[in-house]
Amino acid sequence: MDSTLNDTNVWTALVTPMQENGDLDLEDLATLIHKQDEAGNGVLILGSTGEGLALGYEDKRQVVHTATSLNIDVPIMVGVGGFNLREQIEWIESCQEFGPDAFLLVTPLYAKPELQGQIEWFKALMDAANKPCMLYNVPSRTGSWLEKQALATLSDHPNMYAMKEAGGSIEHFQAYRMAAPSVPMYSGDDGWTPYFSLNGCRGLVSVMANVWPKATHRYVELCLEGNTRDLVPHWKEPIASLFSVSNPIPSKVLLKEKGWIKSSTLRPPLTDKDLKDTKRLLKADESITKWYEENKVK
């Protein structure tokens, strides 16, 4: 496995910039990826934050092609999500011509498979991939939990890289760690990272790194060093502001306010019209900017 992946403590679940008419804005996409590269954050494209399920096949290919063609040092991971196994295998095979560094594999959407169904699903996807794979547990979105025994069974697959845990509790995080001690665990929740880091997580797959790439990188460094005491009080409200309405609406709105993208347009069923006021976001941005200046490595 590429040592770059093992050295990546922050993966940014990147938004997908769009023009006002809903078409992709590949120029802004490249701008955002370069900002993550500057911060040293790996880039996850076409996850739920990247509106991967709202994009058509050709749009997704353009995103992968753009991301993998840039002259950057950080790795690129591609999201794989849905409930049609054949389509997901075809998607993985299509992506591989562009040479991404890894894939993110989420539990099947809506179907709620049991243990054997999950094992067969993930094994088929990992067999199709010639790259490392991160498994993703996010029951609030998929409707089902990744079975702990499925993770244990799959832990010795040659393409197993890591797990992203977004179940929202220390107890579940610890249970996955115990089920598969050899699998590196990443926090899938920005706010839980200080707690997960004290229980052995490798890093964070982050939403907030979209808008605060360098500050988030420093936040995770401090978490992994065990210096978490002052993080939660300072970061709790800024993180909450990014989830005041459905992700990634607040992130796109703040990115536009910061001048990093030209439009905060999203694909239906999401819309930036659901965020009525930007004052909370702008206050959060001011707070984190100040925090970073006080806590960055001199």
Q: Give the pLDDT score at 102.
A: 98
Q: Please, which residues bridge with residue 42 across strands?
A: 11
Which of the residues 35, 60, 136, 252 is marked catalytic? 136
**Which residue from 202, 192, 200, 194 is spatially nearest to 175, judged by alpha carbons?**
200
What average pLDDT score do residues 272-290 get?
Answer: 97
Which of the residues 164, 214, 252, 256 is marked catalytic? 164
Q: Give the pLDDT score at 2.
A: 65
Query: At residue 94, does pLDDT exceed 90?
Result: yes
Q: Of all residues in the chain, what percent carry a pLDDT higher than 70?
A: 99
With residues binned 3-state (H G I as helix, E B as strand, rest as coil), the percentages for the chain, rounded to 5, are 45, 15, 40
Is 136 one of the annotated active-site residues of the chain? yes
Query: At residue 141, does pLDDT exceed 90?
Result: no
- Under a CB-based contact definition with an 8 Å cutoff, are residues 95 and 128 in contact? no
* CA quadruple 80, 81, 85, 86: dihedral sign: negative
- Mention the CATH class of domain 3-225: alpha beta
What's the mean pLDDT when you consider all of the chain? 96
Is 35 one of the annotated active-site residues of the chain? no
Q: What number of residues does the chain have?
A: 298
Helices 231-241 and 279-295 pack at an angle, to 10 degrees, of 150
Place of tokens 């004290």: 198
Query: At residue 1, does pLDDT exceed 70?
Result: no
